[in-house]
Chains A and B, each alone.
Chain A
Amino acid sequence: MVEPILDVRGVTKRFAFNNETVTALADANLRIEKGEFVCLIGPSGCGKSTLLRMVAGFETASEGELLMWAKPVQGPGPDRGMVFQDYGLFPWLTVAKNIGFGPAARGRPTKEVRETEKRFVEMVGLTRFADAFPHQLSGGMKQRVAIARVLANDAEVVLMDEPFGALDAMTRERLQAELLEIWERQKLTVLFVTHAIEEAILLADRVVVMSPGPGRIVADERIDIPRPRDPTSPEFNELRRRLSGLLAGHH
């Protein structure tokens, strides 16, 4: 058996809330191999974002362990880049400087940082906007910057928390296609949180279905349809029906 890049073992997360303990995630187990594109899907309160944030190192597990390459995750780090729904760009930095933030923060030489900036600005098609500030960009462009800064930092795992949820439909479709292309070319491992069934089927190798009260994993479906996937095809619809059923069945 291949060693997984990410291994979530019996992870439970409890929060204190108004003097009560709320279980956000109960006994989650998940193995992800290098190069896999995995979507976490489920209604709000199912613990999908909590699981993602624990992998990122922003939260710690109450029980169980999270391993990356068999080593426990200890706090956030550049090997696990995160793309937030609200972008989280630094408003005072230009597009290029946002992309170069990670390499600069890790003390890479200035010349190398410049080259990295240039390469990744180009990669996400923002060369004309390299010196623009985030507030001058559209939502889709901001999210491209957020993806580029994670890739420019050599992230092995890209964690995405409903990254396209705030975008209009056309922009979302284009970014989904671009993301798949980058994922294939860079051999990335992607853990992608969404609540849209269609998005999950369109993107993922595996769809992990989660359910609330308490948050838990209820199914782990492999998607074998060859890419590019056609959302109007019969097998796509078949999967959509099955995942809908899984989501509805566990309320």
Chain B
Amino acid sequence: MIQMHAFYAFLVVGGLLVLIFIYVAASTRHSREIDFHAAYAVRKKFFFVLLALILVGFGLTLGKMPYPQENQVPDKVVFVVGKQFSFGVSDSPITNDQEYEAATYAAPVELPVGALVEFRVTSFDVNHGFSVYSPNGDLLGQTQAMPGYVNRLRLRFTQPGRYNVFCLELCGMGHHRMRGVFYVK
């Protein structure tokens, strides 16, 4: 899970930084003159190390942007509309208030396991955050539900079960209870 990788990466690098601060603070117990040219030399090395890390970071991540890949045709489209305070999730288009209401009360959409699904996400009022949580409660991905725009999020689900949709953009007093659901079978 990428979240935990990020967490451990943060622990390691952050921990290293804290150790350096402790080391430097401890060094003041025995003060001495230091050669600033030596410090500059260390800084130069640090600069190149950091630069290399950044370039490696770009190499590892810039190609893996979560925006859908080219030359893919999804197997299914699901329409999502956010409105204070619920998500309408439906496999038929939601173009007006009645269809939105119907979608919020209808039986949850069922998606086939392994299918590439395109969510077409928009909002009828304010900004909402459309997020998909796996049956284990992991955040699999998200896109903003924004009035006036339709964002296309493509995900493939390998695990069958109940998937929850939560709102990830503060949208008012009912933000925390704004949700939707679909099943993967």
- A and B interact physically: no
Chain B residues at the A interface, C-beta cutoff of 8 Å: none
Chain A residues at the B interface, C-beta cutoff of 8 Å: none
